[in-house]
Structure 1
């Protein structure tokens, strides 16, 4: 992408009210107030973390118009794509937050989120990068803090190594309603929950013959 195009996208992000980013009024005050100040309703909030172009953010928003969706990514030129799609298609239940995932607790209060999707994140295969994997224990701790007591966490990847790593990490966590598959396209029940939404990377991975791995669960907080 040329520098001129990127700068134009950044400018449009600054003007588009569905993007929350540094320099905008809500950026420093939105924590705990997404329903009240951004969406202006009391509906459930669903996050897509490291959302890239926001395919799941806008796709799920179309499938569930009675819920609120926020795509989170640090790359402004990527979230521009989802932001523009939402605007052009009149999706009032979509927002985008520009920040690093490790800072997510600065922008959402404990229990403010009902559901989280982590879709095709960077696998970070080097051992030295383990703490940056989005299914590492430190990130799971953040997700647990942000989610409601009955909130769902979804994880989808083409990377077998990252998927097996995640399964190992989860052995140390109390979770419930756990389902997983190493070949999503062969599991009709689980596949249907994705509403035929495919990211740009997924289309590429499938074309190359990679299997898509998927899991979902809720944290078991030992309540009741």
Structure 2
């Protein structure tokens, strides 16, 4: 297992669609123009893991640019490799800690953000690590365009409830919400994309929560 991780880390270093750590600082404010070479809207997936959502969104929406963000290079390897093998040019991956996102994206640079099955960090002592903690939400609000959209999919009911509490504090406008995507009338090609973790949760008959929102300005 350790050898496989090392192999993936080494291979990721050679991928043209992956930017690692401080290598991404130069693209701040100009990811679409300088990394993708166009002026298409920019969409992020945070804690993207193996990149299934990032890659499949890129396939569905060739008129947009997509960046999957995660700190674990051996996970990013899978999505990046798939994109290269299939010639998907509107997708890239950035290996950074999400806490540092403001160092890599400028104000009003991003059109849309997805958070898909993040670690719920259920312990009270780890609340600051939750990706919908107020400090994180404030960062997302800064980099999102005025009408930017955010999405959350999670199997964890506690984390979902926590997120809704934070959105109420921010007076965010919730456009769509459900505690069971696949039993709702919201399910479509986008919400039907399944990550590695989502497939595991569905196999255990767990419900999938979803909320889409915009921040008040």
In the alignment, which residue of structure 2 is the partner of 1:201?
A: 197
Superposed displacement of residue 3, structure 1: 2.4
Counterpart in 2 of 1:20? 19
Residue 213 in 1 paired to residue 209 in 2? Answer: yes
Matched pairs, number: 217
Structure 1 match to 2:140: 143
Residue equivalent to 2:94? 97
TM-score normalised over the length of structure 1: 0.94
**Would you identify which runs of 4 or more consecutive aligned residues in structure 1 move more than 4 Å?**
none
Query: Do the aligned residues in 2 keep the contact of 1:63 with 1:195 (CA within 8 Å)?
Result: no
Shift of 1:196: 2.3
Deviations 1:116-139 (A, max 9, x none): 000000010000000110011111
Q: Deviations over 1:43-80 (max 9, x none)?
A: 00000000000111001000001100000000000000
What SS does the corresponding residue of 1:103 show, helix, strand or coil?
helix
The answer on 1:163 being equivalent to 2:156 is no
* Aligned match of 2:9: 10
Structure 1, unaligned runs of 5 or more: none
Within a 5 Å distance, the mapping from 1:53-92 to structure 2 comes to 53-92=50-89
Q: Is the 8 A contact 1:49 1:117 kept in 2?
A: yes
1:93-132 map, 5 Å? 93-132=90-129
Paired position in structure 1 for 2:49 = 52
Alignment partners' CA distance in 2, 1:179 and 1:36: 31
Q: Secondary structure at the match of 1:57?
A: helix
Q: Secondary structure at the match of 1:155?
A: strand
Shift of 1:177: 4.6
Could you list the per-position Cα deviations for residues 84-106 of structure 1 after superposition, in whole angstroms to 9, with x for gaps in the alignment? 00000100000000001111111
Alpha-carbon RMSD: 1.2
Q: For 1:34 and 1:208, how far apart are their aligned partners in 2?
A: 39
CA 1:20–1:109 in structure 2 vs 1: closer, same or farther (change >3 Å)? same
Q: Which residue of 2 aligns with 1:41?
A: 38
C-alpha distance in structure 1 between counterparts of 2:66 and 2:29, whole Å: 15
Once the two structures are superposed, residues 119-175 of structure 1 have per-residue CA deviations (whole angstroms, 9 ceiling, x without a partner) of: 000010000000110011111001100100001000010000000111111111122
Counterparts of 2:209 and 2:191, CA distance in 1: 16
CA deviation after TM superposition for structure 1 residue 193, in Å: 5.1
